[in-house]
Structure 1
Amino acid sequence: MTPEELRGYCLGFDGASEDHPFPRSPGLSAFRVGGKIFAFSVLEGVPLRVSLKCEPDLAVQLRAAHRAVNPGYHLDKRHWNTVTVDGSLPRRMIEDMVEDSYDLVVAGLPRTQRLRLDRP
């Protein structure tokens, strides 16, 4: 997965947007839905990494099973993983983790926002 493909995948979700909210980290992209962040990435970084929200129990399991999945860098380690996109994980698995992160954030939005996103 290339940086452009990661960006496109993140922005492909209903209501998703990208911004750069941290002046001290101008290359850090934040992908949001309903104003809440579901993914962070320095798209120009080598290797490419993306931080994603995750259910706490699943986060621990993914870290134990895959060297490319680590506790969220500068994030709440219970709820966030940082995934290194280095070819060691199947693309579909990365896409599933991005989608799970998006779904977790959407689930926390008010019902009216969820309905506008077609995700009750």
Structure 2
Amino acid sequence: MDGEKLQKIAGDCTGGLPGADLEHRPDWELHKVRGKVFMLMTDLPGRPVVVLKADPDNAVALREQYADITPGYHMNKRHWITVEGGGTVDEKLVKELVLDSYRLVVGGLPKSQQPVDPRTYGHHD
């Protein structure tokens, strides 16, 4: 998938997330929940990318497994990943990564501010 399709899928994903807001900055799109960023979108030279929060252990595994996932651009490299369009990333993975990022950020909020239970939200078991 190309980078534009990647950003569209990721952006569509956040639309239905409880408490999620979109903020536009020059060259950046910030997706937040209760004021905390869980996804950023920008264009690196010629490459639209999505930057997401990830569990540090998961982030390492993802970077090893997928050529199109690299350390977080302009963010803490341990806790954030950059996803590019490319052959190794599919729609299902993008949606999972967006949801994981959202849950991680929600999980860091005070319980009274959590719009959903981060341990159960989006799990279909």
TM-score for the superposition, normalised by structure 1: 0.85
Contact (CA 8 Å) 2:33, 2:102: kept in 1 or not? yes
Q: Distance in 1 between matches of 2:22 and 2:43?
A: 12
Secondary structure (helix, strand or coil) at the match of 1:86 reads: coil
Offset at residue 44 of structure 1 (A): 9.6
Matching residue of 1:102: 102
1:5 pairs with 2:9: yes
1:72 pairs with 2:72: yes
Per-residue CA deviation, residues 56-95 of structure 1 (Å, 9 max, x unaligned), is 0110010011110000011100000000023431110111
Task: Name segments (4+ residues, structure 1) moved above 4 Å.
Answer: 43-46
Offset at residue 118 of structure 1 (A): 2.9
Matching residue of 1:91: 91
Q: Distance in 1 between matches of 2:76 and 2:62?
A: 16
Identity over aligned residues, as a percent?
Answer: 37
Q: What's the C-alpha RMSD, in Å, of the aligned pairs?
A: 1.9
Offset at residue 42 of structure 1 (A): 1.8
Partner amino acid, structure 1, of 2:37: I
Q: 5+ residue gaps in structure 1?
A: none
